[in-house]
Every structure is written in C-alpha cells, then in structure tokens.
C-alpha cells in the first residue's frame, strides 16, 4: 500500500509523527509531502527532527500569502506530485490551507483521499479552519474522526457511511513524549528565572485574535495584568501583527518567548500553573496532562475538555483573569481522545478499505 501524506503547518507535523511510525511498522510505502506553509525552522524542521519523522520526500516551498494565493499555489504544485506518485491514498491532516489544497487536488485526480481529524466543527463560519475542515470532509472518501462528537457532526451532515472513529493521533504522540519529559519540567522556568508552578503558559495565534488590533491589544493587556508571570510562546503571526499594531508583547506580567519544540512545550505546560491559549492542540494537551486550560475564544471544537471541567472559554479578554484563577477542577478518568493507538487504527483501516 502506498500512502501520500500532505502536511504544511506545525500541528500537522505533530499529527504526522505517529502516522509515520505506524506506517513504517506496517511496511507501508509512505511518501511525505511538505507544502512549505510553515518554513521557520522553529515551526517546521524542529518537529521533523525531534519526532523522528525524517525529512519530507517532497517540499513544495509555497510559503506565506493570502488564503487564495497560498491555497492556489499548493493546489497547482500538488497536481503533479500526486499524479507522479499515484498513491492508494492521499492522507490529509486537520484544517489548514494545506489540508484543503491536498483534498481538492486528490479528489480531482480521482485518487482516494482520507481526512484525519474529520468531523470537528466550531460552527463559526468566520474561521478559515472551519471553511477548510467542512470543505475537506465533503470532498474526502474516508473520514477518520477523533471523537464521538466528531462522528455525530459527520452523521448530521449526511457523511456517516464514510466515517470511522479512530481516536485522536495527538493522544498517541502526547503519551509517548509525556513518558520522557519528567526531568525537564523545570527547564523553561529555570531559563527565565521562574519556579515550577510559578507561571502561566500562553499561546495566541489565531486570525480572529491577532488580526484585529483592538482585540489583540485587549488580550495582551489582560495577560499583562494576570496575578503571575505569563510566558507567551509567540508564533510569528502574533509577532508580526503586534509589531504592525504597535503592541508590546513583553509588558507587565507578560514575557514573549520563542516557540518551543514539542517535548519542551509539553514539559513547559506540565511546569505551569495553567495554560491560556487559542490553539486546538494545546487545549487537549493540557487536558491530557491534567493542567487547567483557559481558551481565548467564543467556542471550541474540543467540547469534551470544557464539559469535563478542564477548559474554560474566555470569549472576552476581560473574562481571562477570572478563568485562570478558578479553583482546580476535579480529576477525571474520562478518555474522550482515545487510547494512544489511533495511528495504528488508521493504517489498518486504510489497508482494509483501499
């Protein structure tokens, strides 16, 4: 069986890691295509190296641009690559512009396409990720869903017959990495002079939080006024938007820091008093690590984290302070994100249904 994976942005490299391992173990001919959507070494190369993926087989070097320009450039470049390899499956991941481009290219070439992390919905039609995931789900031949909630969304859109519940591959990678980071939990704090439990860890990068200067300024001011130091792992997008808006990312309690490789991020989250984020992945990682999370959005795709009490939505910047200082939630044994073997399940379904 030949599988061609298309990835391009940081969270997709994390999802690719367990898939690449399971594919290797199963003797799959696995071709990895990197669109080049993310190109900074800290957002890209570092994940291929530390998660043992190895370099991509094909790199399209597309880079940044408006949605149409970026997605269109990927689409044009992918046609030739998919046609040359003619895989049994094109596998696309998550909800970025790279996901949508690969799904559209494959479906038009009549190559079967499987969507990993299918069925997530925010029902917020202003989010680029929502456009990407809805369009990809409806284009794909096989929908690999991480949760029961995602399966329900797919069924309600008439896609039940193509949907399979596999669990979440981010659980696979998190459990593997978690097992090896105990001795690094204090590292980030030590580097910036803070004790374990003495800081909040923050990431903010989504368009809806960064592109409106007033919204960005409000979030930054709220973080700067929190009761403990806040380490902001600053994605290039928030850095660029903050410079353009004249917003200082280091002020008050807030200190900007470069993004971290995956294992360092997990260790840093474990060493924090709580996480404040708009990332989808970090909401789940915090839940799986038993770290309270505050999500700076009006909705989340990962509703289980909220229902189980480990995640609170702070729609307005003025809601953030109360959310981060809430009492610690009760421990839970619920495992809505699978058992850490989702990637193996994906490979066996691709073999069976290819």
Residues annotated as catalytic are: 205
Give the span between the Cα atoms of 275 and 180, in whole angstroms. 21
Instruction: Give min distance, CB of 10 to ligand UD1, in A.
Output: 4
Among 39, 59, 149, 306, binds ligand UD1 (CB under 6 A): 39
Give the span between the Cα atoms of 265 and 282, in whole angstroms. 9
Binders in 307-346 for ligand UD1, by CB under 6 A: none
Q: Say whether residue 124 binds ligand UD1 (CB under 6 A).
A: no
**319 DSSP assignment:** G
Q: Say whether residue 43 binds ligand UD1 (CB under 6 A).
A: yes
Give the span between the Cα atoms of 272 and 204, in whole angstroms. 16
**251 DSSP assignment:** B
Among 3, 4, 9, 269, binds ligand UD1 (CB under 6 A): 9
CB 245 within 8 A of CB 213: yes
Instruction: Give min distance, CB of 205 to ligand UD1, in A.
Output: 6
Q: Which segment (34-42, 136-144, 263-271, 346-354) binds ligand UD1 by CB under 6 A? A: 34-42
Token digits for 339?
């058992």
Site string for ligand UD1, 125-164 (x = CB under 6 A): ---xx-----------------------------------
Site string for ligand UD1, 214-243 (x = CB under 6 A): ---------------------xxx--x---
Q: Say whether residue 252 binds ligand UD1 (CB under 6 A).
A: no
Binders in 95-114 for ligand UD1, by CB under 6 A: 95-97
Q: Which segment (76-84, 90-98, 216-224, 286-294) binds ligand UD1 by CB under 6 A? A: 90-98
Contacts of 113 (CB under 8 A, 6+ apart): 89, 90, 91, 92, 102, 103, 106, 107, 139, 140, 141, 142
Residues composing the chain: 354
Q: Which residue has the tokens 């792992």?
A: 233
CB 11 within 8 A of CB 38: no
Among 2, 25, 29, 40, binds ligand UD1 (CB under 6 A): 40
SS3 content of the chain, % helix, strand, coil (to 5): 50, 15, 35
Q: Which is nearer to ligand UD1, 61 or 198 (CB)?
A: 61
Phi, psi of 303, rounded to the nearest 5 degrees: -65, -25
The residue ranges that bind ligand UD1 (CB under 6 A) are 9-11, 37-40, 43, 64, 95-97, 128-129, 205, 235-237, 240
């Amino acid at each position: 069986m030949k599988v061609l994976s298309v990835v391009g942005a940081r969270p997709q490299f994390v999802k690719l890691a367990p898939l690449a391992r399971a594919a290797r173990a199963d003797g799959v001919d696995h071709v990895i295509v990197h669109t080049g959507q993310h190109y900074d070494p800290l957002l890209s190369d570092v994940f291929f190296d530390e998660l043992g993926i190895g370099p991509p087989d094909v790199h399209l070097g597309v880079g940044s641009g408006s949605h149409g320009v970026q997605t269109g450039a990927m689409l044009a470049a992918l046609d030739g690559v998919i046609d040359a390899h003619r895989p049994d499956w094109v596998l696309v991941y998550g909800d970025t512009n790279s996901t949508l481009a690969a799904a559209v290219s494959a479906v038009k070439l009549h190559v079967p396409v499987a969507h990993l992390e299918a069925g997530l919905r925010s029902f917020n039609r202003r989010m680029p990720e929502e456009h990407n995931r809805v369009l990809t789900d409806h284009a794909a031949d096989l929908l690999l869903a991480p949760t029961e909630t995602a399966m329900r969304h797919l069924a309600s859109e008439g896609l039940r017959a193509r949907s399979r519940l596999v669990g979440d591959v981010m659980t696979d990678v998190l459990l593997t990495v978690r097992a090896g980071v105990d001795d690094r939990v204090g590292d980030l704090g030590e580097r910036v002079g803070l004790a374990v439990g003495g800081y909040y860890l923050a990431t903010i990068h989504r368009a809806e939080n960064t592109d409106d200067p007033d919204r960005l300024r409000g979030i930054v001011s709220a973080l700067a006024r929190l009761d403990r130091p806040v380490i902001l792992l600053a994605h290039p997008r928030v850095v660029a938007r903050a410079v353009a808006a004249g917003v200082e990312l280091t002020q008050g309690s807030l200190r900007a820091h470069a993004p971290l490789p995956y294992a360092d991020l997990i260790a840093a989250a474990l060493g924090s008093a709580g996480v404040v984020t708009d990332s989808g992945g970090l909401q789940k990682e915090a839940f799986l690590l038993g770290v309270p999370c505050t999500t700076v959005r009006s909705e989340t795709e990962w509703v289980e984290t909220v229902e189980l009490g480990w995640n609170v939505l702070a729609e307005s910047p003025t809601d953030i302070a109360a959310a981060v200082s809430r009492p610690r939630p009760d421990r839970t044994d619920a495992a809505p994100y699978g058992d850490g073997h989702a990637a193996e399940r994906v490979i066996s379904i691709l073999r069976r249904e290819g």
